[in-house]
Amino acid sequence: MVTTLYLIRHGETEGSEEKRYKGTIDVPLSEKGVRQIEQVSAFIAEKLNQSMMQDTGYRMQDKNNHASDIRNHESLSVAPKLDAVYCSDLRRAVKSAEIIAKAFGLIPETMEELRERNFGEWEGMSFDEIKEKYPEDFNAWVKNPLMFRPTGGESTLEVKERSIKALDRIIDNHSGGDIAIVAHGGVNRVILCQLLGVPLENIFRIEQDYAAINIIEFHSSYPVIKTINYILY
């Protein structure tokens, strides 16, 4: 039994032209971000439709079971559907999830565990500003990027602990289904590192653009990555 996960980063946000660590700052989607996620929603619907048609085609090859043929024929008229949509409780993720969920008649379930990393006193700052204003902390981050925690913030390992627990719970609750998670660049990278068996030190070797789509199939508990950082714009 295969469980399919569409792991998505939220769309572009307002003020995204300035490269700053937004973290838990609750910025909204931009107009472009809304359009990006509308494309994502249509893409998922098409993928689900293709999967349903393929599955129906396989089952209809059994010509010896007339009742099964009738049921399969009738299923051709059934619209493809996600089982559930989950998201971070920050509004850029919530709005993205609402756009996707609406197409499937769903209401997204928010989970604080899927929030972007809390960068504490660094939030809203650029890389260069952090380096200039907090040189000692910056050097500590460089030396131990997994364990270091900005004042008032989280470490990468803490993000991993909460996000992977959330992922495991979601997958367990929807075995054999099709689900979507809308989260953030940092959270998505952590999840992908975990599923790929990539050391977390290499987290930034995985790109996650705005509205990026990652597709993962879980064969029982074994994950197979089908797509990483696919964008439609």
Question: What single string gives the DSSP state of each residue in 28-54?
Answer: PBPHHHHHHHHHHHHHHHHHHHHHHHH
Are the CB atoms for 96 and 74 separated by under 8 Å? no
For domain 2-117+154-230, the CATH superfamily is Phosphoglycerate mutase-like (3.40.50.1240)
Burial of 138 (0-12, 13-18, 19+ CB in 10 A): middle
Q: Where are the domains of the chain?
A: 2-117+154-230
The reported pLDDT for the residue numbered 51 is: 82
Q: 51 is written with which tokens?
A: 């999967």
- What is this structure's pTM? 0.90
Q: What is the pLDDT of residue 155?
A: 97
pLDDT in tens, 8-28: 999 999 999 888 999 999 999
In our burial notation (b when 16+ CB lie closer than 10 A, e otherwise), range 58-75 reads: eebeeeeeeeeeeebeee
Per residue in 51-63, pLDDT tens? 888 765 555 555 4
Nearest CA among 190, 227, 22, 28 for reference residue 114: 190
* Confidence at 105, pLDDT banded by 50, 70, 90: very high
Residue showing tokens 């979601």: 170
At 201-229, the pLDDT tens digits run 999 999 999 999 999 999 988 999 999 99
Q: For the chain, give the mean pLDDT.
A: 91
For residue 66, the surrounding DSSP H or E stretch is helix 66-75
